[in-house]
């Protein structure tokens, strides 16, 4: 994943490690947080929202929870 202040990266831009090219991705999960290009955490928030909804459905008798 490449972080930059803006603009497009050059078409021939690449990073190698021990002579092997590394894949460039738009998002990456690190320590439980999904990082993505740009300045938002949209993907991370959507994942946490889905997890919370699943957890709510797992609670039986949700109305009785204080």
Tell me the pTM.
Answer: 0.58
Break the chain down into helix, strand, coil percent, rounded to 5.
Answer: 30, 20, 50
User: Quick one: pLDDT at residue 62?
Assistant: 67
Q: Block means of pLDDT (10 residues each) for the chain, length 66 residues?
A: 73 84 87 83 90 84 68
Q: Is 3 a domain residue?
A: no
4 belongs to a structural domain: no
What domain range includes position 54? 26-64
The per-residue pLDDT for 59 is 81
pLDDT at residue 38, as a whole number: 74
In a domain, 46, yes or no: yes
pLDDT of 66: 67
| CA nearest neighbour of 2 among 33, 38, 32 | 38
Q: Does some domain include residue 21?
A: no
In a domain, 13, yes or no: no
Which pLDDT score is estimated for 50?
93
Domain-embedded: residue 60: yes
Provide the domain count of the chain.
1
- Is 50 a domain residue? yes
pLDDT at 24: 83
């Amino acid at each position: 994943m490449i972080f930059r202040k803006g603009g497009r990266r050059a078409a021939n831009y690449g990073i190698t490690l021990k002579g092997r090219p590394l894949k460039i991705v738009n998002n990456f999960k690190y320590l439980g947080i999904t990082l993505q290009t740009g300045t938002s955490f949209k993907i991370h928030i959507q994942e946490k929202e889905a997890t919370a909804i699943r957890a709510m459905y797992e609670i039986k008798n949700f109305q009785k929870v204080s």
